[in-house]
Amino acid sequence: MKKDIILCGVGGQGILSIATIIGEAATKAGLHLKQAEVHGMSQRGGDVQSNLRLSTDQIWSDLIPQAGADLIISMEPMESLRYLAYLSPKGTIVTSSKPFVNIPNYPDEAALNSELDALPSVKKLDIETVAHECGNVRGANMVLLGMAAPYLEILSVDQLRSAIATVFARKGEDIVNANLKAFDAGVAAVQPQ
């Protein structure tokens, strides 16, 4: 089994934290893992994208080919569309529904949502509002990871919860619990009612 994931967003939104948690869970599960950070990781407000490949078998390349991604996890809706050429026809996009407008010519929000809604498998949520409702204003990335968890398939929700606890342990129990609460809210948002 394998899962090819593109993580994207804007610098400072927590994409690297999502990659770290998935990587921690994959390592604990004994999976093979390759990661390639492709764009401006250090530039706050700049385009951020990472290829993350998980497999039960050996992985030879750290880059995902066009039409090869099983999942795009995006902190920002326009960024999810930027990498659409990499999404498999059977792939899923999990994205924030709320734009992060950081450029003067940002696309019209209605047109952006219309383009996303026309795709076969898209899960959208205002992750910032959900994080705020959880009392964790910086936890939007954990809400997004929770939304994506059921679509990872190669890792379970419990394995990701354990990785969150491990990654945030040095920051104390309150931070671990706040991030788990945001993650759980994301999982609940995509579960069938």
> Measured between alpha carbons, how far is 81 from 142 in angstroms, rounded to an integer?
21
> Measured between alpha carbons, how far is 72 from 81 in angstroms, rounded to an integer?
9
Res 71 pLDDT > 60:
yes
Question: Which residue, among 34, 39, 10, 22, has the nearest Cα to 148 in the 3D structure?
Answer: 22
Task: Say which DSSP state 63 is in.
Answer: S
Structural domain harbouring 7: 2-190
pTM for the predicted model, two decimal places: 0.93
Q: What is the count of structural domains for the chain?
A: 1
Place of tokens 């945001």: 182
**Segment 48-66, tens digit of pLDDT:** 889 999 999 999 999 999 9
CATH of the domain at 148: 3.40.920.10
DSSP-based three-state secondary structure for 165: helix
**Segment 89-138, tens digit of pLDDT:** 999 999 999 988 878 888 898 999 999 999 999 999 999 999 999 999 99
Rg of the chain over all Cα atoms, to the nearest angstrom = 16
Res 43 pLDDT > 70:
no
**Segment 131-182, tens digit of pLDDT:** 999 999 999 999 999 999 999 999 999 999 999 999 999 999 999 999 999 9
**Segment 2-23, tens digit of pLDDT:** 999 999 988 778 888 999 999 9
